[in-house]
Chains A and B, each alone.
Chain A
Amino acid sequence: MIRPDAPVLLEIDDLRASVEDQPILKGVSLTIRAGEIHAVMGRNGSGKSTLSKVLAGHPAYAVTGGRVRYRGEDLLALEPEERARTGLFLGFQYPVEIPGVSNLEFLRVATNARRACKGEEELDTFAFEDLVHERLKVVQMDPAFLERSVNEGFSGGEKKRNEILQMALLDPLVAILDETDSGLDIDALRIVAGGVNHLASADNATLLITHYQRLLDAITPDYVHVMASGRILRTGGKELALELEERGYDWVDAELAAADRAPVEVA
């Protein structure tokens, strides 16, 4: 939902980042307002996953230039946990397993950390169980998964559902979903996409990072950005995704070659 007067939640300006001294992001700019759904598409290695990790504060990535304003604040000055508490959410492409830490307890600690930041009272074990059982419905997840260790022994689809469950509990302002569709069968994709649609509102925003059109059949983006070689090459509406689907990424290479000859001003 595009409303030009909606407040800006995330403003990325000429962001540059490298990993192990290898530049990956080479000047990314992107503005996200409340109510919007953005999709960043691109080939493997285009830098789209790096963008999500940098925004969430992964320590392996070094920011080398640019800035990111989040709710008017300098996002890059915040610790990863502070970003999360203030409502930035990253749905991981490969959620890690954490043996020995109960999923239920983990969800409760995370939810309470977010609630404290919003000035809401901490939920005790019972109040939290009520909440989590209600939110489980959003992703049609079996409550038995709460009793296990975080993601331990979960299938790929179960891990992704657990991510969306966390999103449903943490009530994010900006949700970045990194390749949430990868490794999902049609049914799981439908459930996960249904969850994301259910959680999207006029007050929050979603940034989908994806490879394929099929996720965008289920979640309609307001903007589609094509990323290549660490930059956003082109921005358009949902039809841009369809164009990519039709023409493949080859034309991107041509534009990229042109861009390398004369560096493009990125809007």
Chain B
Amino acid sequence: MASTASVGDLVSQPYKYGFVTDIETEKIAKGLSEDVVRLISAKKEEPAFLLEFRLRAFRHWLQMQEPDWAALGHPPIDYQDIIYYAAPKQQEKKASLDEVDPKLLETFDKLGIPLSEQKRLSNVAVDAVFDSVSIATTYKEKLAEHGVIFCSISEAVKEHPELIERYLGTVVPANDNFFAALNSAVFSDGSFVFIPKGVECPMELSTYFRINSGDTGQFERTLIVAEVGASVSYLEGCTAPMFDTNQLHAAVVELVALDDASIKYSTVQNWYAGDENGKGGIYNFVTKRGQCRGARSHISWTQVETGSAITWKYPSCVLQGADSVGEFYSVALTNNRQQADTGTKMIHVGPRTRSTIVSKGISAGHSANSYRGLVQIGPKAVGARNYSQCDSMLIGDQAAANTYPYIRSQQPEASIEHEASTSRISADQLFYLQSRGIGFEEAVSMMVSGFCRDVFNQLPMEFAAEADKLLALKLEGSVG
């Protein structure tokens, strides 16, 4: 009888982005202290207010405990065994791409993110971040014509310190949580986006994060501000080499939307996930929060999470402005020994605020995938509405899926709906599709895409096909 690949084989696809770029790197010594915080700030020639911000965060962090409430398990992290700053040796950010180390351009080429003038994506501006620093941002001039600022956060600190001082830490305070405090103390680089009043950003903006060093922590900071009536769609992508040790990634993303502004933030996360026995991989402890500060403002998070050994991430919306809208669309795929505890928080403060949560978890192998979400309706949120839908799909019989919805309402009139389902791809379903001439891989992919359709529909068009492909890749195996 012909051998038929099992679902287990199918989901065990080797990681394509596991290479290391051999490049000379400037690193500081391992360990974290007030001196290290000062050193990072000095290296980046930062203004006093920012050093103050970092030191405040560091002092808070010293008093804080690592959170242990998530359904995750890992050996204790030694925060003194991590390098907090690493940069490829070509310090000054280059005025033109011609001056950027060709090895770096080559790295991004290999990752499918060409930066050079001829090959770059036609309607997407890209900020490429390599270890702790941003190495290039494309289409800056074209964006500047519209008054849009898109640059690395280090550059923004130098060029637009008033905007940084006004907005940094206003959505995620320095003492918000253990990992956010750590990030606030030592963040290295990330992206800054500013869309002025009334401007609709003329192209998709994208940041691509690449971890290269094996012993370096990654602490990016992203800040996006949309002024009154402005709108922007932003996408981040991420990959890392394969090391058999774990790397810590603790990023903070803050979004601010003023009256009638709209921010769409999409993530395709493909950090290295560790091997099939759970050795190596990224610990992804990320704080992402958007504040709908103005009336009728709109923040939408879409995430496709496929990588990381551990994912701890809850992109949230604080719906402060009247009639503001928050959305969260998520696909989280875990395989092998991966663990994900991810979801969202929708904090309804203003009247008639609305939120939608659509979460799709896919667990394969021995992985554990949890949805954790909070819907909170404050006393002034008259007429607030929420709709949540959390679906889990199990592949094989060794994986786990959990759903932890938390609902707190101080508004008796609020409308809150929660739907949840769990399904499994069964051998009989696969056989049924195969017996109609549909190949094993296509059969799995059809079922997974069908399951994720509501979320993929939310991705920017340029990336929707990408996400579909990425899931198919993750699920591709040894058929044939």
A201 at the interface (CB under 8 A from B): no
Residue A23 is within 8 A (CB to CB) of chain B in the complex:
no
Q: Is the CB of A109 within 8 A of B426?
A: no
- What is the size category of the interface that chain A forms with chain B? 35 or more
Which residue of B1, B426, B435 is within 8 Å of A84 (Cβ)? B435
Select one of B2, B4, B428, B442 contacting A77, CB under 8 A.
Answer: B2
Residues of B within 8 A of A59 (CB): 4, 427, 431
Chain A neighbourhood of B432, CB < 8 A? 92, 95-96, 98
Distance of A239 Cα from B2 Cα, bound (Å): 37
- Whether A76 contacts B442 by the Cβ 8 Å rule is no
Kindly state whether residue A173 has any CB partner on chain B within 8 Å: no
Q: Which residues of B contact A81 (CB under 8 A)?
A: 434-440
* Candidates B2, B426, B429; contact of A78 at CB < 8 Å: B2
Tell me the residues in window 442-458 of chain B with beta carbons closer than 8 Å to chain A beta carbons: 442, 446-447, 450-451, 453
- Say how far A167's CB is from chain B's closest CB, in angstroms: 10
Would you call A84 and B437 a contact (CB within 8 A)? Answer: yes
A114 to B438, CA, bound (A): 9
A61 in the interface, Cβ–Cβ < 8 Å? yes
Residue B470 interfacial (CB < 8 Å)? no
Q: Is the CB of B437 within 8 A of A110?
A: yes
Q: A59-B431, A61-B1, A76-B1 are in contact. Are A110 and B436 (CB under 8 A)?
A: yes
- Judge whether B164 is part of the interface by a CB distance below 8 angstroms: no
Contacts of B436 in A (CB 8 A): 81, 84, 106, 110, 113, 166, 170
What's the minimum C-beta distance from B431 to chain A, rounded to whole angstroms?
6
Q: How many A-B residue pairs have CB under 8 A?
A: 92
Residue of B nearest to A56 (CB): B435
- Please give, as numbers and ranges, the residues of chain B lying within 8 Å of A84 by CB-CB distance: 434-437
Interface string of A78-90 (1 = CB under 8 A from B): 1111111100011
Among residues of B, the one whose C-beta sits closest to the C-beta of A110 is: B436
User: Known contacts being A81-B439, A110-B436, is A102 close to B450, with CB within 8 Å?
Assistant: yes
Whether A27 is near chain B, meaning CB under 8 Å from some CB there, is: no
Q: Say yes or no for A183: interface residue by CB 8 A criterion.
A: no
A113 in contact with B450 (CB, 8 Å): no
Query: Smallest distance from the beta carbon of A19 to chain B beta carbons, Å?
Result: 12
Verify A76–B437 contact, CB threshold 8 A: no
Contact B438 A98 (CB under 8 A): no
Interface residues of B in 409-444 (CB under 8 A from A): 423, 426-429, 431-440, 442
A149 adjacent to chain B (CB < 8 Å): yes
In the complex, A57 has a CB within 8 A of chain B = yes
**Contact across chains for B431 and A80 when beta carbons are under 8 A apart:** yes
- Taking a contact as CB atoms under 8 Å apart, the answer to whether A98 and B439 are in contact is no
A-facing residues in B186-226 (Cβ within 8 Å): none
Q: Given contacts A80-B434, A81-B439, is CB(A109)–CB(B1) below 8 Å?
A: no
CA distance A92 to B434 in the complex (A): 13
Which A residues from 66 to 112 make CB contacts under 8 A with B?
76-85, 89-90, 92, 95-96, 98-102, 105-106, 109-110
Complex Cα–Cα for A77 and B437 (A): 15
Give the interface of B toward A (CB within 8 A): 1-2, 4, 423, 426-429, 431-440, 442, 446-447, 450-451, 453
Q: Report A's interface with B, CB cutoff 8 A.
A: 54, 56-63, 76-85, 89-90, 92, 95-96, 98-102, 105-106, 109-110, 113-114, 117, 149, 166, 170
Q: What 20 additional pairs, Cβ within 8 angstroms, besides A77-B2, A98-B447?
A: A57-B431, A57-B434, A57-B435, A59-B4, A61-B1, A62-B1, A80-B435, A83-B435, A84-B435, A90-B435, A96-B432, A98-B429, A99-B423, A99-B451, A100-B450, A102-B450, A109-B446, A110-B433, A110-B438, A166-B436
9 A-B pairs (CB sep. < 8 Å) = A54-B1, A58-B431, A78-B2, A79-B439, A80-B2, A85-B437, A89-B435, A96-B426, A100-B451
